[in-house]
Structure 1
Amino acid sequence: MFSKNLKYLRLQRGYDQQSFAEMVHRSVSTVSEWESGKYTPKAGVLADIAAIFGVKIDDMMTTDLSKSMNERLIKQTVSTMRRLHPARQEKVYNYADDQLKQQQNENVISLDDERHKRQPMLLHIAGTVSAGTGEYLPDDDTGDDIPFSGPVPDYDFAVRVNGDSMEPMFEDGQIIFVKKCDDCDIHSGQIVIADLNGDAYVKKIDIQPDGVRLVSLNPKYKPILVESFDDFAIQGIVML
């Protein structure tokens, strides 16, 4: 329920993920993970979020605020209309009817628009990242340009997955989009592109007091422990 309420309240206030992330001092990918239901923020952050939207933490976690707020707004509107003179009631009705017609027209998508959306774009693939044993990702601008017609998030570079260790989230050969991480805030549980001793991996990062592990989602693969002597860097966060 938290993820649904967060997205509803954010959109209701007109915040995009970037601006909201800045308000709570977190990364865009963290906000995206909250809204997808993968993670829930800790109690202190929950309190800050509830305060931003002026709601109770319990309601944020257990109540469908989209329904409760809409129902309250409808009741308030009906109560107000009953106190209006008939001529003013008619004006309110005419305005509401006009808004409904505009909404219905906005929901109509022409066949030409749909055909245009299906037209593939030319997507540059920077290289390949391994979901298993590691693979070299070049630093230069070499790579392939391929036609791509799927949804594209805000990203810095795209790579292709090699291997099955990140299934079921990412399949062998799948294109994934990455946001560069020059000095970003990395959290345990994020899916990252990690450079370990010259090899590039796509893994879930597990940050613990005693060290860092690169974790596969496919249980048949063991986690990779990052040692203190390893050459290790995070190249980016996978945009989900």
Structure 2
Amino acid sequence: MERKLPIEAKRFKKVREELKYTQHSFAELLEIGSTTADIERGKTKITGKVVTKLLSQFGINPLWLFGESFTQYLEINQANVNPKVITVDSNDQETILLVNQKAAAGYPHNIQDVEYYDSLPAFNIPLPQYRNATYRGFQVEGDSMMPSIRPNEWVLGKAVSNINEANDSLIYIIVLHDSVLVKKLQKIANNPSKVRLISLNPDYLPIDVEVKNIQELWQVNSKLSFNIDEPSETTLFKQLQQSMEELKGQIKSLKD
């Protein structure tokens, strides 16, 4: 006779699949060994530590997990989008980490793994604009923020501690559970549980995301660009015209 699967095992698997974690990566995140297979098969009970982590990190309602509630998510610290890990140098000064496109693919899943951050390059900028705050750099992928931000450029973001601090007119780095996006953020007046992410490139449609799915938020305040365009022919022509007019003026003044 086939053994009936406990509801908490079914719902645990549902959570993992919704968050798009593998059994291995979810087990690492929850610190419960190498895989979640035994939990999902009902062979291993879900511990209180796991229940606490699911609640604190993803807002999973413990009562829902065990079949005692229809509400899957609780709004626990949903506005807290502080950096999960801060790095410092040998002088105990905060450093700016750089997350390139390849590293960004794993960033959401390693967001609390201190060892992961050790693999990222770090530096300091000795300018007053970068003092008394936490900054992080991300390399932009794709053209959704053209023309302001081009593919492969780097943006530097200042940490935002609370979603309520976000300003609709600014660009942010939004770290979700499965991706890192660079977008304008717009609050939705009639639905505070969601925000709208807007691209500058009109070819891309806005995206609505749940606030509880935002792990970190960084306000973009500068960018690093390594491709300086040559002046276009039109620009050169205008510059030549301007120079010629100035030269004509000078010659005329000499004649007068």
Normalised TM-score (structure 1): 0.39
